[in-house]
Amino acid sequence: MKKLLASTTAGLAVLTVAVPTPALAVGSRPHTYVVSREPGVLPEGIAVDRDGTLYVSSVGTGAVYRGHVRNRELRPFLPSGADGRTRAAGLDVDRKGRLFVAGWDTGALFVHAPDGELLARRTGPGAALNDVALTADAVYLTDSATGTVWRATLNGPEVGNLVRWLTAADFPVAPGFLNGIVVTDGGRIALVADQGSGQPGTERLWRVDLVERTATAVEVVDGQMGADGLLLEGDRLYGVVNFPDGAGGWAFAVNLAMLDADRRTARVVRQSRPADLSQSPTTVVRDAGRLLWVNSQLNAPTPAPPFTVTQVPGLR
């Protein structure tokens, strides 16, 4: 879920830093995917499994759409309102093909089998569950309403209850709006984006020790990573950020930051070409040698179908 965030990085230059590109063929994949042609969908989260199945959530209705990276059109997979899922934000897929859906202000985590069967519904009281990250034995979710990181244990087919793993009081500064989350270092460390209050300098990237249950601020250099969706590939961290466009509006882009080995410093080295408010991208995912982002239209003056996913311009 996007929060507009003022920042001083609107004029960030594209730097000529050598960054490895994944050696994967894009093949005959469309540049644009149509999630839905129905009004009010407002797509938000995205996930791609190992077989190329593409999932996109709707924060407007709670529906989840499914397709394949080689096909332009997605189809309804989980209908709006089913299982109490009237909102759907962040998504993730595990190695068993189970789909984990953050239910935003429903306060619920939904876990579905590949055929759509509801396997588990777990609730965090008062939560606005925004984004999801999986480890071998747990699922972690950010809560934008209360500044909490929630955790549920995964034990084979069993999904445990949601537990407050870190609360706002466990951060050096109370988070303003927790959003994207990724996990690294064998499931020990999470990087969590905080979009702050919307004022310059309040956005942060947190390094969360999931074992010690502590949080410290990552030193972010040459840009900001107070992002909506995050994507981590080795020491490369991608984040969908927003900033004033210099003309009284807002622009959106993907920033690429290089992390140090201990995940305590992040240097922004590249930025995609921007999108405008009518597009309002939320999060990013890797498909072969390209990046895809979700055009939510959440901040568009008049959101209108078709709702789409497109390739991130100018960055791989």
Domain residue ranges of the chain, discontinuous segments joined by +: 84-277
* Distance between CA atoms of residues 80 and 58, nearest Å: 9
The residue assigned the tokens 């270092």 is 185
According to the model, what pLDDT value does residue 12 have?
32
Q: What is the pLDDT of residues 256-294, one digit of tens each?
A: 999 999 999 999 999 999 999 999 999 999 999 999 999
Using DSSP's 3-state secondary structure scheme, residue 170 falls into: helix
The answer to whether the beta carbons of residues 131 and 149 sit under 8 Å apart is no
Place 2 in a pLDDT band, splitting at 50, 70 and 90.
Answer: low
- Whether the CB-CB separation of 128 and 113 falls below 8 Å is answered with no
Domain 84-277: state its class. Answer: mainly beta
Cβ-count burial of 261 within 10 angstroms (0-12 exposed, 13-18 middle, 19+ buried)?
A: exposed
- pLDDT for position 294: 98
Question: Which pLDDT tens digit goes with each residue over 45-91?
Answer: 999 999 999 999 999 999 999 999 999 999 999 999 999 999 999 99
pLDDT in tens, 89-109: 999 999 999 999 999 999 999
Reported pTM:
0.92
pLDDT in tens, 177-228: 999 999 999 999 999 999 998 777 889 999 999 999 999 999 999 999 999 9
pLDDT at 17 over 90: no
Sign of CA dihedral 29, 283, 309, 113: positive
Q: 3-state SS string over 238-293?
A: EEEEEEECCCCCEEEEEEEEEECCCCCEEEEEEECCCEECCCCEEEEEEECCEEEE
* Rounded-to-integer distance, Cα 155 and Cα 136, Å: 9
Note the pLDDT tens digit of each residue in 104-161: 999 999 999 999 999 999 999 999 999 999 999 999 999 999 999 999 999 999 999 9
Q: How confident is the model at residue 244 (pLDDT cuts 50, 70, 90)?
A: confident
